[in-house]
Amino acid sequence: MLTVLEAINLSTEFLEKKEIESPRINAELLLAHALNCKRLDLYLSYDRPLNEDEVKLYREFIRRRIKSEPLQYIIGKVEFYGIEFNVNPSVLIPRQETEILVETIINSVNKDGSLKILDVGVGSGNISISLAKHLPYSKITATDISEQALETAKANAEMNNVLEKINFIKHDILSHNLNDEFDIVVSNPPYISREEFPQLKDELKVYEPQNALTDFSDGLNYYRIISSKAKEFVKSKGKIFFEVGQGQVEDVKRILAENNFNEISIVKDYLKIDRVISGVKN
């Protein structure tokens, strides 16, 4: 019978031939999911034989992975900013770069202050929930146009014990205003342009929600609209924070300035790419 170690080694070799990035990690995480255990538990069970049902399930996970289905959707979860989130194809998979957006906000405010925060495009809830856990006295409003995304975010908020701190609202920022005022507005909007979208890997363009990736325009449409509307509902001296795509920072900087936001700050990601931009309302 196939043992844990043999299954990992064979799958790693197979995934590598199929040009899957980090094949060993993928093989181990998928097997841990098939066995309903932690990845570290595999190291203590290398000689354990797999039964027929376990082998069948593991092979199904591997089959899905080589078709470019994201690992996170197969196992149904991802870690973000030290917090576990459930994910599914209705929400964008939280990424490491977005942790910089969250960290920038946390480091720029009084953690004991009672801030009103708006998260536009909540998705899985990764930004709102991370802020709720690290800014415990803040009140957060989280919006999305997708009912399924909101359901996912609510479930993640409940799982992480912050459901009562976040007000989830179905709302389309492109066509409706918000009748409230906020100290902080944050968004990781769709910023892939119409021209860039066909060039994305299948993991993104086939499996992740398109309306969370692209604005089907020049990639700047959401920055224009959110900035324009934010100048009405952000308090004086309030702040706006965006994640931006590579090469977009100067355009977004101009958009913010045109909408009465100054004191522009830019933070680079781990690859030294401009990734987070913020401004203060005059």
Q: Is 173 helix (H, G, I), strand (E, B) or coil?
A: coil
- Give me the helices (H) in the chain, please: 4-17, 23-35, 39-42, 52-66, 71-75, 96-107, 126-134, 147-159, 202-205, 221-233, 249-258
Q: In a 10 Å sphere around its CB, with 0-12 CB exposed, 13-18 middle and 19+ buried, how is residue 200 labelled?
A: middle
The dihedral formed by the CA atoms of 8, 9, 11 and 13, expressed in degrees to the nearest 10: 150
- What is the full DSSP assignment across 41-60? HHTT-TTPBP-HHHHHHHHH
Same domain, 95 and 207: yes
Same domain, 14 and 154: no
Same domain, 145 and 275: yes
Same domain, 132 and 191: yes
Domain that holds residue 14: 4-67
Q: What is the pLDDT of residue 282?
A: 87
d(CA 247, CA 243): 12
d(CA 219, CA 236): 28
- Considering the domain boundaries, does residue 56 fall inside one? yes
Same domain, 46 and 127: no
Q: Name the phi and psi angles at 100, rounded to 5.
A: -65, -35
Question: In whole angstroms, how far apart are CA 162 and each of 8, 24, 44, 147, 176?
Answer: 37, 35, 35, 19, 27
Q: What is the pTM of this model?
A: 0.95
Residue for token pair 């599914």? 88
Q: What is the pLDDT of residue 247?
A: 96
- Considering the domain boundaries, does residue 190 fall inside one? yes
Same domain, 163 and 246: yes
Same domain, 273 and 144: yes
Same domain, 144 and 229: yes
- Considering the domain boundaries, does residue 79 fall inside one? no
d(CA 173, CA 20): 37
Same domain, 189 and 119: yes
d(CA 259, CA 191): 19
Check residue 219 and report its DSSP letter.
S
Q: Do the beta carbons of residue 185 and residue 127 sit within 8 Å? A: no
d(CA 215, CA 199): 15
**Count of structural domains within the chain:** 2
Same domain, 32 and 137: no
pLDDT digits (tens, 9 = 90+) for 107-131: 999 888 899 999 999 999 999 999 9
- Considering the domain boundaries, does residue 126 fall inside one? yes
Taking only Cα atoms into account, the Rg of the chain, rounded to an integer number of angstroms, comes to: 21
Q: What is the pLDDT of residue 144?
A: 97
281: which strand partners? 261
Number of neighbours of residue 64 by Cβ within 10 angstroms: 16
- Considering the domain boundaries, does residue 84 fall inside one? no
Same domain, 156 and 56: no
d(CA 9, CA 55): 14
d(CA 80, CA 8): 25
d(CA 27, CA 8): 6
Q: What is the pLDDT of residue 179?
A: 84
- Considering the domain boundaries, does residue 94 fall inside one? yes
What's 232's domain CATH number? 3.40.50.150
- Considering the domain boundaries, does residue 77 fall inside one? no
Q: What is the pLDDT of residue 16?
A: 98
pLDDT tens track of the chain, all 282 residues? 899 999 999 999 999 999 999 999 999 999 999 999 999 999 999 999 999 999 999 999 999 999 999 999 999 999 999 999 999 999 999 999 999 999 999 999 988 889 999 999 999 999 999 999 999 999 999 999 999 999 999 999 999 999 999 999 999 998 888 889 999 999 999 999 999 999 999 999 999 999 999 999 999 999 999 999 998 999 999 999 999 999 999 999 999 999 999 999 999 999 999 999 999 998
- Considering the domain boundaries, does residue 75 fall inside one? no
Same domain, 194 and 226: yes
